Structure 1
Amino acid sequence: MPTWDEVVETAERLPEVEETTWYRTPSLRVAGKGFARLRTEAEGGLMLLCDLDEKAALLASGDPAFYTTPHYDGHGSILVDLEKVDPSQLTELIEEAWRIRAPARLK
């Protein structure tokens, strides 16, 4: 089961990632733009930015590691249950979330 510290460690392998807070919760940014946030709301989970098509595919897969809430309907982000997600898939999702926010000079 990946932890927040492991999420940070994975993300910090990418250029210009910084650990900070977003909505008073731990988060990750690249070039000042957030791409991941550890949610402390009732549903918990890790919020990662993603393409809307990717979000639809993850939800349609039936994998219990991925979910959403009405707050995120129509938004390019997926909620990830760190207790259920495959670590290699999580790495891919972190890298994709980073790509969404990273400026072209970093890609």
Structure 2
Amino acid sequence: MSLDWDSVTAFALALPDTGISTSYGSPAVKIVSNGRAFIHTGREAGSFVLAIDQDTKEMLIETDPDSFWQTPHYHGWPGLLVRYGSSDPERVHAMIERAHDWAAAKPEVKPRKAKQ
């Protein structure tokens, strides 16, 4: 099974309470009830961004750096890059489910105040 943005999005949208949206101007899948994105396209070719807790992020980068990685932009942020060319798409799907559950458990996103 080969991964691409369309297959990743289809998998994520099959999870409960999800919808297509944007995050930082990029296509994303969010939790509808709280507005939290858990996957989005990002800026790095050949990868998508998975929003996930810091402990899981560190474990994934350590155990499978060929699939899960980060650039300096993502250091200290609960998100990491996932290569579409991962040799373990089942693990990628499991991590999308975990990211979904993590995002669904968070409170609703509060609107930002307009800059004056």
Q: How does 1:91-102 map to 2 (within 5 A)?
A: 91-102=93-104
Q: How many residues end up aligned between the 2 structures?
A: 102
CA 1:85–1:97: 2 relative to 1, 3 Å: farther
* CA RMSD between the two structures: 1.7
The reply to whether residue 26 of structure 1 matches residue 32 of structure 2 is no
Q: What is the CA–CA distance in structure 1 between the aligned matches of 2:65 and 2:13, rounded to whole Å?
A: 27
After superposition, what is the alpha-carbon deviation per residue over 1:27-55, rounded to whole angstroms, capped at 9, x for unaligned?
0100211111112x2x3321111121111
TM-score normalised over the length of structure 1: 0.84
Partner of 1:3: 4
Structure 1 stretches (4+) deviating beyond 4 angstroms?
none
CA 1:103–1:52: 2 relative to 1, 3 Å: closer
Asked whether the equivalents of residues 13 and 29 of structure 2 are also in contact (C-alpha less than 8 Å), the reply is: no
Q: What is the CA–CA distance in structure 1 between the aligned matches of 2:94 and 2:86, rounded to whole Å?
A: 15
Partner of 1:88: 90
CA radius of gyration, larger in: 2
Give structure 2 stretches of 5+ with no counterpart. 107-116
Asked whether the equivalents of residues 28 and 39 of structure 2 are also in contact (C-alpha less than 8 Å), the reply is: yes
Deviation of the 1:62 alpha carbon: 4.5
Partner of 1:35: 38
Deviation of the 1:103 alpha carbon: 4.2
TM-score normalised over the length of structure 2: 0.78
User: Which letter maps to 1:50?
Assistant: I
User: Which letter maps to 2:4?
Assistant: T
